[in-house]
Homo-oligomer: A and B are copies of this chain.
Amino acid sequence: MGSLNGTSIFRMPFFYVDLTSWAFTGQQKAHVVTDSISSLDAERLKLSSCILNRTIIHPNVEEAMKSYRKELFFQVPTRRAFINITPQVEECLRESGIKEGFVLCNAMHITASVFINDDEPGLHHDYEVWLEKLAPHAPVSQYKHNVGEDNADAHMKRQVMGREVVVAVTKGKLDFGTWEQIFYGEFDGRRKKRVLVKIIGE
């Protein structure tokens, strides 16, 4: 809080108005205040404040819910792959400016997965072998879905690994245990596919 010609000003993170140009001449004041407000782009500033006489009273705008959305793109040259996308999700979180909330990260395709596990190549090999045992790709003729395509097994592998993760955001960071990393699991690649990152919070 600063003081300007006897005027108290609350300055908070998202909002600042320079009052130096205000006249203070009785009734005239009202009009000047009105003009000052009018000249603000309320939408742009996310105006959540009022000006009383010569005091700016700034409510807790930081409490308001914010949202952020971004699509990540992948074109995997092989049919199957696991890709660590944690750095991209962290970049999204930084861009969002959100400090407390949830990140939803989901495959936008039904033959792919987003999941959280270990960034260890031996484990990824084990997953590949294990998923192929649980839901074998071949013979493709064993699946009714495979009329004109051959990816029925990918729809199954994705159900085992999951479509989405929801991650807590705390103090502006992904709130993770030591080894948690976010992966894109591709089960029917060799074409452009998308992952959605949606963040809500404050």
Contact = CB atoms under 8 A, between A and B. Distances in A.
A64 B64 contact: yes
This protein's copies in its complex: 3
Interface residues of A, number: 90
A83 interface: no
Contacts of A158: 117
B143 A122 contact: yes
Contacts of A49: 57, 59
Interface of A: 1, 6-8, 10, 26-27, 30-31, 33-34, 37-38, 42, 46-55, 57-61, 63-67, 69, 100-102, 104, 106-110, 115-118, 120-123, 125-127, 130, 134-135, 143-147, 152, 155-156, 158-168, 170, 175-180, 194, 196, 198, 200-202
Nearest to A6: B31
B69 A57 contact: no
A135 B161 CA distance: 14
Given A65-B65, A100-B200, A110-B180, 8 more contacts: A30-B54, A34-B55, A48-B48, A52-B52, A60-B64, A102-B198, A102-B200, A123-B155
